[in-house]
Every structure is written in structure tokens, then in C-alpha cells.
Amino acid sequence: MKPKLCEQISLDSYLQYGDRKKPGRISLLCDLEADEIYFVPKEIEHIDFAKILDDQNKRNYEKLIPSHVDILYDGEIKVIGVITGVCGLEEKLWIRHYKRDLVTAHRKIFDILSISNLKVELSENTIVDRFLRCYFHGLALRYIFVKKIFSTSSAVV
């Protein structure tokens, strides 16, 4: 299977990729390193799709950000939800993303929606941040440790 780039969302792409795991849902995978967005086929899990994209086992999975576009179709496409940051990659493989990458991917989805000239009436607009990778975790621990050493040593001097 050859991955399909998402350059816009149309009725054709909705009919081909919509209703993935839930009525009206189109799942997308943003590859921030390659600056590309792919439609995730209905019949394949994100994990397996990421492996298809990773043809040489060199891909940084942290830079593959999932997004879901929820659509209500009643003669015309109306976007009612955008959710970014959660799929099987995070839940099963423990992939973590930086907040800035989640925000970038979320913006890219809205760029696609703008290019697509779709009606957008969001009841949900979410960046899921429970799978964040922390910038300063180690640095913060080192800071606390060093601060404790210096505060202890200054008391001794």
C-alpha cells in the first residue's frame, strides 16, 4: 500500500477515508520531519501505518503526530472536531511528543481545512497533552540537586 498525502479534504477523500473507527472521522498522521500529512486508511492501525512510512527504520516516531478530523456530512462536509496527539502510537508504543510539535501538527491540520474550503463549526478542538515529552525533566532534577548541594554547603561555610 502506498501512503496517500493529504493536501486537502474533499468529498472523495471523505468517502475513501472517512468513518474510521467512528462515524465521520478521518484520521491523519503528520510527519513533521518530512513536512507531510498522510491519510490513515480505515483498515489499518496507526502503528502499522507508521511502519509502512518507516521504510528504512530511521523514522523518528516522536515526530509522527496523529490528528483526527470529525466530520458531519449532510450533503456538504462540515468539520465539527479536530483532535491532535493521541492514537495507538502513544497508548501502545509509549511514544511521547513535545508540546510544540503537537501545536505545530494541530496548526497544519487547520491549514489543510482552510485550503479545503470546508465549513468549520467545532464542538471539539483539542490537543491531547497527556502523552507529552518533557523538555526540562532531567534539567529540573539537576537544578534541585545542585541547589540543595549549594544551600547545604553554604550553611557549612
For the stretch 9-54, pLDDT in tens is: 999 999 999 999 999 999 999 999 999 999 999 989 888 888 888 7
**In contact, 81 and 118? CB cutoff 8 Å:** no
- Contacts for 31 with CB less than 8 Å, ≥ 6 apart: 37, 38, 53, 59, 63, 64
What are the tens digits of pLDDT across the range 73-114? 998 999 999 999 988 777 777 788 889 999 999 999 999 999
Number of domains present in the structure of the chain? 1
Range of the domain at 71: 11-156
For residue 103, tell me if it sits in a domain.
Answer: yes
For residue 131, tell me if it sits in a domain.
Answer: yes
Give the per-residue pLDDT at 138.
Answer: 46
pLDDT-based confidence at 144, cuts 50/70/90? Answer: very low
For residue 1, tell me if it sits in a domain.
Answer: no
**In contact, 32 and 65? CB cutoff 8 Å:** yes
For residue 3, tell me if it sits in a domain.
Answer: no
